[in-house]
Amino acid sequence: MNFLDYTLEELHEKLVNKEWTAVELIESVYEKIEETDEKVGAFLTLNKEEALEAAREADKNGIDPNNILSGLPVGIKDNISTKGVRTTAASKMLEDFVPVYDATAVEKLKQAGMISVGKLNLDEFAMGGSTENSALKTTRNPWDLTKVPGGSSGGSAAAVAAGQIPVSLGSDTGGSIRQPASFTGLVGMKPTYGRVSRYGLIAFGSSLDQIGPFTRTVKDNALVLNAISGTDDKDSTSYRGETPDFTENIDKGVKGLRIGVPKEYFHEDAKETAIVSSVRQALDEYKKMGAEIVEVSLPHSKYGIPAYYIIASSEASSNLQRFDGIRYGYRSENINSLEDIYVKSRSEGFGMEVKRRIMLGTFSLSSGFYDAHFKKAAQARTLIRQDFDKAFEQVDVLVAPTTTSTAFEIGGKIEDPLAMYMADVLTVPVNLAGVPSLSIPCGFSEGLPIGMQIIGRPFDEQTIYRTAYAYEKATNHLTKKPVFKGGE
């Protein structure tokens, strides 16, 4: 089975009508993984026996006709805890770590009847933009196997794009859902900070991290966000308000909607004119549908990259202190003292990019440099948030390119950290401001997908989905499918 051929509602209907059983559906997942994952490399761990047992239970109890997610498969990014299933964060440090609890998002998907089939590759501890920083394997883009799938949630994106699974969960700290979604032609949502509980997500940047879904279609994405959203007493930063139905009014259209175009996002860094051209064409489409297009300014977004990398690295240096070679995780064998345990375990257990960010964060927080670096970055973050607040006084959503390029060659930027960091220039302001943003496909350049991000007011994911759905219905990008070009 190729899951690119079905929406979640269509899969659900076939289960309810007994055209196939949940067991047959899950078996087809593993058949597809066996057929394609040697090329793609999306999965790190498979839990076939547990998944088939859950499917047998679903068949025995009957598929809930009122619950679209019941009996459907899902893949989980490997920095999200899964009870009894290895969770590595794609790091040597946690290569054999098996959690004793589920992350809240995973728990909620299970309550909705979804069946987790395995864990997906990522950049180590979610630090990177290509999934090349994984200590365990390389993941490739199903559209062109010589290209990266994006990162850090590259495995989550590649698995859905390859048709292995219909849904996956990723995490987004500075673009790690939206950029891979853009590179692989998917719909990827970074919800408002606090919309989805972070409990069970291995922390990178605690004030920035957010879990979200990858899907093929906009409505599928909204259905999954419905399931994973909500207040969680285990996460003090989770939103205490009501969670709406994100599919409500999704088909209302965009007539009368005011769409903002941030001029700073259409600048010279968008090196591929095809990207800017595709987004401009999408804006023309919105205009035809009755939306009003308004130019706005986000002047402080130019400080996004330096502010983000100082704040995120500072939080990472603090969060990763727990990996000390004593409590859990990797411990060096070549030790002669307590200091050896700390120094050698961390030096051998962490990859180069993780160590680079720990060093940058520790420096930024150190005495004598805090005011010059971290404090300034925090002030820039406030200005960026205020820019978004001001823009949303004029418009309902913002539309802009997701990335400055399409998927690049494997090995193309890994030796140039600054080039890799600059690739996040259009995504990090959203995380610094804590607002929601969805990336959807809006065209192709030389056979590779182009992504467009729709940014909304805090906790107004509904309007984002409505805007994205209108465009998806007006265009035919879903008719194209990955071709696995460049394989042996």
Identify whether the C-beta of residue 129 lies closer than 8 Å to the C-beta of residue 425: no
What is the reported pLDDT for 55? 98
What is the reported pLDDT for 92? 98
C-alpha to C-alpha distance for 35 and 282, rounded to whole angstroms: 36
In a domain, 440, yes or no: no
In a domain, 437, yes or no: no
pLDDT, tens digit (0-9, with 9 covering 90-100), for 185-198: 999 999 999 999 99
In a domain, 272, yes or no: no
What is the reported pLDDT for 484? 74
Identify whether the C-beta of residue 36 lies closer than 8 Å to the C-beta of residue 162: yes
Q: Is 176 a catalytic residue?
A: yes
The domain that holds 71 is classified in CATH as: 3.90.1300.10
For the sheet with 397-401, list strands across it: 43-46, 115-120, 73-77, 167-171, 211-215, 187-190, 437-445, 448-456, 397-401, 258-262, 292-296
Q: Concatenate the DSSP letters of all residues of 120-153 into one string.
A: E--SGGG--SSSTT-SS----BTTBTTB---SSS
Task: Give how many domains the chain has, as a whole number.
Answer: 1
In a domain, 34, yes or no: yes
Point out the catalytic residue in the list 116, 153, 156, 176.
176
Point out the catalytic residue in the list 32, 70, 77, 190.
77
pLDDT beneath 50: ranges in the chain: 269-271
Residue 336, Cβ density class (10 Å: 0-12 exposed, 13-18 middle, ≥19 buried)? exposed
Q: Which residues contact 10 (CB under 8 A, 6 or more apart)?
A: none
pLDDT, tens digit (0-9, with 9 covering 90-100), for 375-389: 999 999 999 999 999
In a domain, 207, yes or no: yes
C-alpha to C-alpha distance for 95 and 86, rounded to whole angstroms: 8
In a domain, 153, yes or no: yes
Give the dihedral of Cα atoms 111, 117, 123, 127; nearest 10 deg.
10
Domain that residue 104 falls in: 3-251
C-alpha to C-alpha distance for 132 and 139, rounded to whole angstroms: 7
C-alpha to C-alpha distance for 441 and 448, rounded to whole angstroms: 10
Residue spans of alpha helices (H) in 416-460: 417-422, 428-433
Point out the catalytic residue in the list 81, 152, 156, 182.
152
What is the reported pLDDT for 474? 94
In a domain, 306, yes or no: no
What is the reported pLDDT for 481? 77
Q: Is 77 a catalytic residue?
A: yes
In a domain, 318, yes or no: no
